[in-house]
Amino acid sequence: MRAIVTGAAGFIGFHLCKRLLKEGYEVYGIDNLNKYYDVSLKKARVKQLKQNINREYSLGSFVFDVINLEDSKSLKESFNFFKPDIVFNLAAQAGVRYSIENPSAYINSNLVGFGNILENCRNNKVDNLIYASSSSVYGGNEKLPFSEDDSVDHPISLYAASKRANELMAHTYSHLYNIPATGLRFFTVYGPWGRPDMALFLFTKAILNSEPINIFNNGKMIRDFTYIDDIVESLFRLSKKPARSDLGFDKTKPKASTSWAPHRIFNIGNSNPIKLIDYIKAIEEELGIKAQKIMRDMQPGDVEATSANTAKLEDWINFKPQTSVKFGVKKFINWYKNYYGF
């Protein structure tokens, strides 16, 4: 199998590449190495993939290029050169709050860039497209847990709107060109090599450096934290089971999660949401240090609670993410201390 992974230097992309290489895939990694967060961390991920290719992951092969998805010429050349069977589109301008400060980055990467991905999948007759959506598409919804068939018409950030747009764009291409496409609504992914802008990384860094941590919404946030290994296992299983048409789809009573076209949407979360304050407690216990806490109001673009109903994904791939927060936090902190020399 020949797989293109966009966002290969990112958190999820890096871990997915490791798994695909171990399984014997030929992998073409693409990333623009933007400066949204520490570029040296992204380069370290790529370096590890290249270093391990002849040892731990010797079954597969790995090529890496620095490309912007909105660079249609370079992207087209990459697809024409590699001729992928499957595409994992994990590249995007990330961050809910940053979308308020820099909207053009989201329009260029998440909309123009994803449009280029779809065009190249069409022109190269790709067998399976798996792309990252987000739990943020549920916007102002307060009914928990979130179901794929709930309304997603009320986003509260441009990031969320761009991810919902991706789902609609992918469905259109599935309908017009019969491209099997699966959209995944990720719920707060965490683990080793994680993103520095995410809560676990920020809190661990601050606590180890005796700095206070900001806790928004006065600690009342609830999140469905999902461990990276569960995400990768789900992605790998989906690589073996492309989306297909729902033969029982009723256009008089349409559901958002399936279609007459070969397009599916799944939640991918732990289905065991916890309070942010309990997440912080797990970090404190693993570090053996009490955090200095500063309570803050809710930030623009944030939602108070997320919770995933993952029944459809479990039925589709026969797997349920279930790694405990205690285990996941321990694995991250062990990596963090080793990587940063604590």
In angstroms, the CA 182 to CA 216 distance is 33
281 lies in some domain? no
Q: What is the pLDDT of residues 158-168, one digit of tens each?
A: 999 999 999 99
Give tens-digit pLDDT for 264-300. 999 999 999 999 999 999 999 999 999 999 998 888 8
Cis peptide before 145 (omega within 30 of 0): yes
Is the pLDDT reported for residue 303 higher than 90?
Answer: no
Q: Name the one residue in this structure whose structure tokens are 């301008």.
A: 93
pLDDT at 52 over 80: no
Domain that holds residue 101: 2-194+227-270+308-322
In the prediction, which pLDDT does 57 show? 54
Q: Is pLDDT at 105 greater than 90 in this prediction? A: no
- Is 159 a known active-site residue? yes
In a domain, 330, yes or no: no
pLDDT exceeding 90 applies to what percent of the chain? 83
pLDDT given at position 56: 58
Token digits of residue 268: 């991918």
Please compute the mean of the pLDDT values over residues 74-89 and round it to a whole number. 97
pLDDT band of residue 258 (cuts 50, 70, 90) is: very high
pLDDT for residue 140: 86
pLDDT per position as a tens digit, 315-335: 999 999 989 999 999 999 999
Give residues with Cβ within 8 angstroms of 219, minimum separation 6.
275, 276, 277, 293, 295
Sheet holding 263-268, edge to edge: 61-66, 26-31, 2-6, 86-89, 128-134, 181-186, 263-268
pTM over 0.85: yes
Q: Which segments of the chain are extended strands (E)?
A: 2-6, 26-31, 61-66, 86-89, 128-134, 181-186, 189-190, 213-215, 222-223, 226-227, 263-268, 274-275, 293-295
pLDDT band at residue 301 under the 50/70/90 scheme: confident
Our count of domains for the chain comes to: 1
Residue 293 domain flag? no
What are residue 27's phi and psi, to 5 degrees?
Answer: -120, 130
Does 296 fall in a domain?
Answer: no
What whole-number percentage of the chain has pLDDT above 70? 98
pLDDT (0 to 100) of residue 174: 98
Q: Do 320 and 314 meet the contact criterion of CB atoms below 8 Å apart?
A: yes
Q: Which of these ranges, 66-80, 95-109, 182-196, 203-217, has the smallest mean pLDDT?
A: 95-109
- In the predicted model, what is the mean pLDDT of residues 107-122? 96
- Share the mean pLDDT of the chain: 93
Instruction: Classify residue 85: in a domain, yes or no.
Output: yes
Is residue 11, in this structure, part of any structural domain at all?
yes
**Residue 153 falls inside a structural domain:** yes
Q: Which residue has the higher pLDDT, 229 or 57?
A: 229
> pLDDT at position 304, please?
86
Reported confidence tier of residue 59, pLDDT bands at 50, 70, 90: low
CA distances from 30 to 90, 93, 108, 116 (A): 10, 14, 16, 13
Helix orientation angle between 72-82 and 113-123, rounded to the nearest 10 degrees: 30
**What's the pLDDT at 102?**
82
Residue 123 within any structural domain of the chain: yes
C-alpha distance from residue 274 to each of 221, 227, 280, 308 (Å)? 9, 13, 10, 12
Of residues 159, 173, 227, 279, which has the active-site annotation? Answer: 159
Provide the pLDDT for residue 121: 98
Q: What is the pLDDT of residues 196-250, one digit of tens each?
A: 999 999 999 999 999 999 998 887 889 999 999 999 999 999 999 999 999 999 9
Residue 58 has pLDDT above 60, yes or no: no
Query: Looking at residue 232, which CATH number applies to its domain?
Result: 3.40.50.720
Which pLDDT score, from 0 to 100, does residue 276 have? 93
Residue-level pLDDT at 167: 98
